[in-house]
Amino acid sequence: MAIIMTCIKEGAYLSVPSKIAANPKINQGPGKWNLFGLALLLPVTLLTAWQVLGDLGLISDLLFPTPYAIGVAFVELSKSGVLWKHIGVSVQRVVTGFLIGASLGFVVGIAVGLFRRTEKLLDPTVQMIRMIPSLAIVPLFVLWFGIGELSKILIIAQATFFQLYINTFLGIRNVDKKLFEVTYVLGYSRFQQIIRLVLPAALPNILLGVRISFGISWLGLVVAELTASTSGIGYMMSDARQFSNTPVVFVGIFLFAVLGLTADSLIRLLQIRMLRWKSAIYR
């Protein structure tokens, strides 16, 4: 049995079983709640400093309203019901656009990842379109589809498509070639190879792509609502900017941050659950 030599005094040692040394209660790291507290420390400190500087008049109320003023604006918008209407519209848009863009990115990524000819046919065009900034496409979408819901959803879908496409493509291409030899021995059909080998092996990359794509979909939402919209959080911010209502602009910024973080946390939990088998293999 492995042992750890612990010095009692100079020249004398005691053999301690490694099991005792590995006791999780000994040399235990910070607990879950301690880590949560540390994560809150920075934002709470920044907000406190921000409030103090505002109260002392060291920063402009027009440019940087205090957290208290922003909180008052949030409460007023909540009571009026306007805020929840804008939130509902924005969430519906981002989810719809994400589902469309992610689904297309996943399907095209599989096709390009599995077949070299499809890669040669589609990938150059996809990469060329990927290099076009979303802001450059917005005027064209508005011209084609107007300022209705379709143009906004397509802007979000377009922004979402590419990341999942790339991650799916790379995940498939990085599958160990030796695993394919095993499937040949087992007599798998092409469909069985895809379902039982390719997709499970590429799943970590695909789920990472889902997580990144959903974050990008919020950026697409901001672009869509700030440029061509009559509702949503982005529209609320744009309307407040025209009347120099800075607290409402900050309410919109914080809403995007909180909603985005919440969505990312949910996807991360899904990612952990679906990849639990991978952790078990390397345990």
What CATH number did the domain enclosing 126 receive?
A: 1.10.3720.10
> Would 208 be classed as within a structural domain?
yes
**Residue type at 210 in one-letter notation:** V
Average confidence score pLDDT of the chain:
83
Measured CA to CA in angstroms, residue 129 lies from 100, 124, 154, 207 at distances of 17, 9, 14, 23
> Would 30 be classed as within a structural domain?
no
Whether the predicted pLDDT of 96 surpasses 50: yes
> Would 34 be classed as within a structural domain?
no
16 has which bridge partners? 4
Most confident of 17-21, 29-33, 48-52, 107-111: 107-111
> Would 53 be classed as within a structural domain?
no
Please work out, in degrees rounded to the nearest 5, the angle formed at the alpha carbon of residue 179 by the alpha carbons of 177 and 183: 120
Average pLDDT score over residue span 18-43: 59
Q: What percent of the chain has pLDDT over 90?
A: 37
Average pLDDT score over residue span 77-103: 94
> Model confidence at 206, in pLDDT bands (50, 70, 90)?
very high
33 burial via Cβ count (<10 Å: 0-12, 13-18, 19+): exposed
Average pLDDT score over residue span 148-160: 91
> Would 40 be classed as within a structural domain?
no
> Model confidence at 160, in pLDDT bands (50, 70, 90)?
very high
72 burial via Cβ count (<10 Å: 0-12, 13-18, 19+): middle
> Would 37 be classed as within a structural domain?
no
> Would 143 be classed as within a structural domain?
yes
pLDDT on residue 3: 37
pLDDT on residue 191: 83
> Would 29 be classed as within a structural domain?
no
pLDDT on residue 276: 78
Whether the predicted pLDDT of 6 surpasses 50: no
Average pLDDT score over residue span 152-163: 92
pLDDT on residue 147: 81
Written as six digits, the tokens of 188 are 């798998």
Domain count along the chain: 1
Enclosing domain of residue 146: 81-281
Written as six digits, the tokens of 138 are 């917005």
Average pLDDT score over residue span 190-202: 85
pLDDT on residue 36: 64
Quick check: 54 and 66 in contact, CB under 8 A? yes
Average pLDDT score over residue span 149-177: 91
How much is the pTM? Answer: 0.78
Average pLDDT score over residue span 184-210: 86
